[in-house]
Amino acid sequence: MYKLSASFIGILIALMVTFNGILAKKTGDYVSILMIHIIGLIAISLILIIKNKRINLKKDIPIYFFSGGAIGVIMIFFNNISFNNLGVSLTLSLGLFGQSITAVIIDHFGLLGMSKHTFNKKKTTGFILIFIGIFIMIIGG
């Protein structure tokens, strides 16, 4: 079930990057980012109201864990710029490659409180294949 959910997330990300990129073309990068986050705020507010959930912040959460929102703004900004210059498939491919590398580093060292999952040589083959695929996409234009 989780693998199916993760695949569904990939579909949603491709749609999100496309919608966000087109919106940025029509309204500009900064206005589109503001609109995207306002709509997101409205959507999650409605979900919280419908589910009758309260915001309950625990006092022991490190402040840097709240930086995800700022990272999201930066990510959408660069996605929009990349989308307008590279298209959806190359933007997503390069983004996933960056995510994969970062995830391996976080897993290998157990960063941010995550449990350690050491890097093994089998993963190198996967990274090489991904890199070759992206290279072919770049030269294929």
- Digit-coded pLDDT (tens) for 81-121: 999 899 999 999 999 999 999 999 999 999 988 999 999 88
Give the C-alpha distances (Å, rounded to integers) separating 88 from 20, 46, 137: 11, 30, 12
What is the pTM (predicted TM-score) of this model?
0.80
> Which pLDDT score is estimated for 91?
93
Q: Which residues contact 137 (CB under 8 A, 6 or more apart)?
A: 89, 90, 93
Cβ contact 79:95 at 8 Å: yes
Report pLDDT for 49.
96
47 secondary structure, DSSP code: H
CB 92 within 8 A of CB 17: yes
Angle 50-11-71 from CA coordinates, rounded to 5°: 70
